[in-house]
Structure formats: structure tokens, C-alpha cells
């Protein structure tokens, strides 16, 4: 391990690298084992350089944003987790053109607030989604009838195979329901995202954002660790309703529980392990399939290995 750490430190002074880093502290579910390496580049050149080193040494890596839509198994991640946060969190606003450009590590909620102050509308329904801009684009995150495909115009990405930066149009990204090209083609690293928004009265935008925030707080278990809405919406139904109809609200495995506030969420009531979360996920899937015939697909990515 020391070889990689020493190599990266000698090449890039703006990179934080830790060995055997617990990932439970870097994910919203608060579960998971250690990564062999946890690397946080703070500039575009160092990010590209770190990825180059990892590829040259054939060390598997996983790109982590806010950690809000991922469950790490208890055995941790064998390889490097590359965190994209500080250094990739700039937000630039062109009010005249209605364009907001944000780094992949910027919090989506922060981008929405800055756009609102500039009188630019479009991000209000997404303003309460936790996590980063890059993660939101990767998942085509959405809520309240909108998603990233409605507001994104293009993205700057690094193509690791071609070793070059490129600008990708919204159409090239193939954004669908909780899906994107980035999920099927692993060679792209999202660097920044451009949003095309519309001019609107700041008071009206602020009022809408407050309304969405109140609705989210009243309906979702925001006071407990979770990975957000745990299951994708199946065609013709809603995951939360199917789970509640199966009588699963409050069902628990270890420290993991189907939220009593919203059945679409699995929460960590304290001391949950990833095995608890994944075990509960399987119980929910089995019960819903038996009761309604629907197959529920988890929305968070499940990475790493078991103990």
C-alpha cells in the first residue's frame, strides 16, 4: 500500500490519501467496511493524474460523491475510493444566458440556492435532494415530477480510455429513469455540469423551494441515516405503496428498518451493518414479489465485499 501512497504524495501535493479508511463515515447510510485507499484530489489535474496512476497499477477504483446513494458492504472496498468534493464544488452563474455551471462535487442543494438568489428557476423540485451534482447526474436523480434531464444541458467529462476531456450533450448522456450512460460506460468521470434555467421572480422561487422542503420533511425520515429512497419505482406502481401494502412498515433486521414514516426508505436506527441493510432489502423484495408480483430494484449502488 505504501507504494501507491508514496507515489501519489510525491506527484500531487493537493491530494489527501488515507489507507484502511472506514467508509461508514463517508456515506449517508453510515454502514460499510474500510477502503484500502481513500483518495481526495482537489483539482482537475490531480484527479486525472490519480486515475492515471490507479489505471497504470491496475488498482480498482470507485468514484464517490456525497455518498448518499451507495451502500458499502461490511468487508469494505478492495482498491481505491476516489472522492470528488472540495476543489470540485465551484458554482458559476451566467444570469444573462440562464446558465449555471457547477463542479461535480458541489452539493445540489447549494447549487439550487445560488440559482434561486440569481432569479434562475428550474432546480426547485430537486433542491432537497442530498448529494452532489455529479452523483445526481450519474443517477439522473429526481423528485416531485422533475429530474436532472429536465435542466441539464451539457457536462464536462474526462474519458479515461481516450485520456482526454470532452463536452457531452444532454442527449449523449442517455438520461432515463434513474439511469444514464455513465452507469453502463464506466470510462467517463463527470467533472462539471451545466444547467439551463429560466428567469423568474426570486420570491416565487424561494416560496416553491420552501414548500418542497416542508413536504420532504413531513413525508421522509430525514432525521435518520438512509440512502434515500431505496427502491426504484416499478412501472405502474410506487415502491413505497407496495411495501406498505405488504405490511412491512417497521420491519427490521438488526439495526436496519423499513421506515415507519415512509415505507420506501430503509433507515439505520443505530448500529446497523451493511448486512442488516442488504438482508432487509432482500426480505422486502421477497415479500413484495410474493404479494403483488412486482420485482423491486434497489436504487443505491451496492459496492464492496462481504466479510
How far apart CA 154 and CA 144 sit, in angstroms, is: 22
How far apart CA 200 and CA 303 sit, in angstroms, is: 41
Known catalytic residues are 178, 229, 299
| 132 in Cβ contact with 84 (< 8 Å) | yes
3-state helix/strand/coil string of the chain: CHHHHHHHHHHCCCEEEEEEEEHHHHCCCCCCCEEEEEEEECCHHHHHHHHHHHHHCCCCEEEECCCCCEEECCCCEEEEEEECCCCCCCEEEECCCCEEEEECCCEHHHHHHHHHHCCEECCHHHCCCCCEHHHHHHHCCEECCEEHHHCEEEEEEEECCCCEEEEEECCCCCCECCECHHHHCCCEEEEEEEEECEECCHHHHHHHHHHHHHHHHHHCCCCCCEEEECECCCCCCCHHHHHHHCCCCCCEECCEEECCCCCCEEEECCCCCHHHHHHHHHHHHHHHHHHHCCCCCECCEEECCCC
Amino acid at each position: 500500500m505504501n507504494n501507491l501512497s508514496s507515489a501519489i504524495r510525491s506527484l500531487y501535493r493537493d491530494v489527501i490519501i488515507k489507507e484502511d479508511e472506514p467508509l461508514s463515515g463517508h456515506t449517508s447510510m453510515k454502514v460499510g467496511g474500510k477502503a484500502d485507499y481513500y483518495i481526495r484530489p482537489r483539482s482537475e489535474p490531480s484527479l486525472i493524474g490519480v486515475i492515471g496512476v490507479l489505471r497504470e497499477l491496475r488498482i480498482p477504483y470507485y468514484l464517490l460523491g456525497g455518498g448518499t446513494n451507495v451502500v458499502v458492504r461490511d468487508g469494505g472496498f478492495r482498491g481505491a475510493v476516489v472522492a470528488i468534493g472540495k476543489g470540485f464544488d465551484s458554482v458559476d452563474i451566467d444570469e444573462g444566458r440562464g446558465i449555471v455551471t457547477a463542479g461535480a462535487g458541489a452539493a445540489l442543494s447549494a447549487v439550487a440556492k445560488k440559482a434561486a438568489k440569481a432569479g434562475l428557476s428550474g432546480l426547485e423540485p430537486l433542491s432537497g435532494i442530498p448529494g452532489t451534482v455529479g452523483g445526481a447526474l450519474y443517477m439522473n436523480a429526481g423528485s416531485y415530477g422533475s429530474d436532472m434531464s429536465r435542466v441539464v444541458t451539457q457536462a464536462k467529462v474526462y474519458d479515461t480510455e481516450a485520456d482526454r476531456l470532452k463536452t457531452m450533450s444532454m442527449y449523449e448522456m442517455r438520461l432515463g429513469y434513474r439511469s444514464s450512460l455513465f452507469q453502463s460506460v464506466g470510462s467517463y468521470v463527470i467533472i462539471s455540469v451545466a444547467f439551463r434555467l429560466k428567469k423568474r421572480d426570486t420570491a416565487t422561487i424561494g416560496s416553491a423551494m420552501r414548500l418542497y422542503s416542508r413536504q420532504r420533511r413531513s413525508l421522509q425520515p430525514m432525521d435518520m441515516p438512509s440512502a434515500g429512497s431505496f427502491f426504484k419505482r416499478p412501472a405502474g406502481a410506487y415502491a413505497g405503496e407496495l411495501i406498505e401494502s405488504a405490511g412491512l412498515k417497521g420491519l427490521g433486521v438488526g439495526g436496519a428498518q423499513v421506515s415507519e414514516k415512509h415505507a420506501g426508505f430503509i433507515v439505520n436506527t443505530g448500529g446497523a451493518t451493511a448486512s442488516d441493510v442488504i438482508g432487509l432489502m432482500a426480505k422486502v423484495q421477497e415479500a413484495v414479489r410474493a404479494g403483488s408480483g412486482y420485482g423491486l430494484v434497489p436504487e443505491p449502488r451496492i459496492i464492496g465485499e462481504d466479510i
